[in-house]
A = this chain, B = another copy of it.
Amino acid sequence: MATKEGKSNKLSFQLKTPKGTRDWIGVDMIIRESIFSAITEVFKRHGGTQLDTPVFELKEILAGKYGEDSKLIYDLADQGGEDSALRYDLTVPLARWLAMNTSVQHIKRFQIAKVYRRDQPAVAKGRMREFYQCDFDIAGSYDAMIPDAEILRIVVEVFEALNMRDYITIKLNHRKILDGLFGACGVPEDKIRAISSAVDKLDKLPWDQVKKEMEEKGLEPEVADKVGKYVKLSGGREILDAIKAEEVLIANENVKKGVEDLELLFKYLEAFDALDKISFDLSLARGLDYYTGLIYEVVTPLSSAEGFAQSQKKSKSKSKPNGEDQNIGVGSIAAGGRYDDLVNMFAKKRQIPCVGISFGVDRIFTIMKQRLESEAEQGNGTMRASEVDVFVMAFGGKGFNGLLVERMSVANQLWKAGIKAEFAQTVKPKLPQQFKLAEAGGIPLAVILGEDELAAGKVKLKELGLPEGHPEKDGALVAREDLVEEIKKKLNKASLPIR
């Protein structure tokens, strides 16, 4: 069964999941599912259609899409047949699907699925080799910036659904403005990519370090300063006016086109009530080659311990975390952009413009979990590990036979009515043991069977966890035929722990 010699004589192999992967269960799973469900609801509200692609693709499909990071792709073994590899993201599979399905001219597609990268895992930070992405993309030819604005509206709605709207900023920029700006400042064509990657670090490093990196990459100091003058700009619409006032910039065709796009975008985002979350940030560059227009990244201070502590202090005051003091540890929790040429890489006759967003669920999960734990410490909210609402139990005196078949029959009555119910899976359980099982699952209600009561067609319904002295502490007798209705009434009461 096992091939390697183990270190102990108990096991001849390592009992673990592969490096950078983990099992999900219990409260973690419930939190993650609640994030998926909130995101899915928003995606469907905007007309999203779900696509599910295979977990592996032909290697040729993935080749040449991820630049240097291609070394992180997981290959399947050559067992005869086709060369395949695990998907690296959900964007390339979408482009492959769009290239194959030539009758599709327009689609809003979403996909929530695992992707795979043979990166160095950082488990504590939630960076794994197997992780989820939640993607929404709009493919098709539309009038300028309308789908782009809807994607950003979706970002706002998703974080609203997750109660995080107050703690996010959508940083955005435009590839054409960035390229045009570099050109206008005199950055040589062949250095644009390298300089762009230096500029992208401005959110983490001070300007003089970024400038030093530019000079090391061969840029003249005066050109670097020109670039610096612009890429340090960030804010709202007023930045557009600042760019338009710079003749050297606006004379550049790329800059001009980008500015026109952003003017439309700001107008549309105003109609979508999303403008307050936008920071037009000229230093945002993003790595991927395939972006052709708008690019964006959602950041939050909540993904750092300091930022989280601040948000807890300020959570009542609705302050926006955009201030200088909150710049420490800002992490990206969603990102995307426009990519108009990717489908064309797969099918020369297909040209389908696309724009999309990918939510990093694992980082959002870490934030949500931290928040729930902090709320639980403060005594607000409870997290139940089980969803079961009713525990069916029995008790009796001397000669008590456990009433197993009767407990089964009552549980069955509840299941038929769609009620989540369990019972102790032993013939003669003791009463304290049954209460312990109910308590361990955080189950809010008990139905208690006794022989005499059953003979009279009744059972006892009891709310668990009520304080001593509560008028309903002992529960009440209910006729079997009214049981379902009485349980549903109790489950609708706000006093029960919500999950």
Task: Say which residue of B22, B56, B149, B420 sits within 8 Å of A18 (CB atoms).
Answer: B56
> How distant is the Cα of A273 from the Cα of B97 in the complex, in angstroms?
47
Contacts of A149 in B (CB 8 A): 408
Instruction: Give the Cβ gap from A125 to chain B, nearest Cβ, in Å.
Output: 18
Check if A400 is an interface residue, CB within 8 A of chain B. no
Task: Say which residue of B75, B81, B143, B272 sits within 8 Å of A426 (CB atoms).
Answer: B143
Most B CB contacts (10 A, CB to CB) among A19, A76, A346, A385 go to A76
> How distant is the Cα of A54 from the Cα of B33 in the complex, in angstroms?
16
Question: Are A54 and B17 neighbours in the complex by a CB distance under 8 Å?
Answer: yes
Q: Mark A1-38, 1 if CB is under 8 A from B, else 0.
A: 11110000011011111110111111001000100000
Check if A231 is an interface residue, CB within 8 A of chain B. no
Of the stretches A39-47, A192-200, A243-251, the one at the interface is A39-47
Question: Are A2 and B405 neighbours in the complex by a CB distance under 8 Å?
Answer: no
Contacts of A78 in B (CB 8 A): 77
> How distant is the Cα of A49 from the Cα of B385 in the complex, in angstroms?
8
Most B CB contacts (10 A, CB to CB) among A13, A49, A99, A409 go to A49
Of the stretches A58-66, A295-303, A305-313, the one at the interface is A58-66
Question: Are A345 and B76 neighbours in the complex by a CB distance under 8 Å?
Answer: no
Total chain A interface residues with beta-carbon distance under 8 A: 101
Known contacts A11-B348, A349-B10, A420 near B45 by CB under 8 Å = yes
Question: Are A346 and B15 neighbours in the complex by a CB distance under 8 Å?
Answer: yes
Of the stretches A213-221, A326-334, A411-419, A452-460, the one at the interface is A411-419
- Closest residue of B by beta carbon distance from A109: B25
Check if A142 is an interface residue, CB within 8 A of chain B. yes
> How distant is the Cα of A412 from the Cα of B270 in the complex, in angstroms?
11
- Closest residue of B by beta carbon distance from A385: B49
Question: Are A14 and B130 neighbours in the complex by a CB distance under 8 Å?
Answer: no
Question: Are A15 and B99 neighbours in the complex by a CB distance under 8 Å?
Answer: yes
Question: Are A420 and B347 neighbours in the complex by a CB distance under 8 Å?
Answer: no
Contacts of A60 in B (CB 8 A): 1-4, 13-14
Known contacts A14-B58, A77-B77, A409 near B271 by CB under 8 Å = yes
Interface positions, chain A 98-124, Cβ under 8 Å from B, are 99-100, 109, 114, 116, 118
Check if A157 is an interface residue, CB within 8 A of chain B. yes
Check if A431 is an interface residue, CB within 8 A of chain B. no
> How distant is the Cα of A10 from the Cα of B55 in the complex, in angstroms?
27
Task: Say which residue of B41, B47, B55, B56 sits within 8 Å of A422 (CB atoms).
Answer: B47
> How distant is the Cα of A60 from the Cα of B79 in the complex, in angstroms?
18
- Closest residue of B by beta carbon distance from A104: B25
Contacts of A401 in B (CB 8 A): none
Contacts of A21 in B (CB 8 A): 54, 56
Check if A74 is an interface residue, CB within 8 A of chain B. yes
Interface positions, chain A 253-277, Cβ under 8 Å from B, are 267-268, 271-273
Check if A386 is an interface residue, CB within 8 A of chain B. yes
Contacts of A346 in B (CB 8 A): 11, 15
Interface positions, chain A 120-137, Cβ under 8 Å from B, are 130
Question: Are B79 and A51 neighbours in the complex by a CB distance under 8 Å?
Answer: no
Contacts of A84 in B (CB 8 A): 18
Contacts of A3 in B (CB 8 A): 60, 63
- Closest residue of B by beta carbon distance from A81: B19
Contacts of A363 in B (CB 8 A): none
Question: Are A130 and B55 neighbours in the complex by a CB distance under 8 Å?
Answer: yes
By a beta-carbon cutoff of 8 Å, the part of chain A in contact with chain B is 1-4, 10-11, 13-19, 21-26, 29, 33, 41, 44-47, 49-58, 60-61, 63-65, 74-79, 81-82, 84, 86, 96-97, 99-100, 109, 114, 116, 118, 130, 138, 140, 142-143, 146-147, 149-150, 153, 157, 267-268, 271-273, 345-349, 385-388, 404-406, 408-409, 412, 415-416, 418-422, 425-427, 441
With contacts A47-B420, A47-B421 known, what are 10 further pairs, Cβ within 8 A? Answer: A11-B347, A15-B96, A23-B51, A29-B50, A47-B387, A79-B118, A146-B426, A267-B405, A268-B404, A272-B408
28 contacts between A and B (CB under 8 A): A2-B63, A4-B60, A10-B349, A11-B347, A13-B60, A15-B346, A15-B347, A17-B53, A17-B58, A18-B57, A18-B58, A22-B54, A25-B49, A25-B50, A33-B50, A47-B386, A47-B388, A47-B422, A49-B386, A54-B130, A55-B116, A74-B77, A79-B118, A143-B425, A143-B426, A157-B415, A271-B406, A271-B408
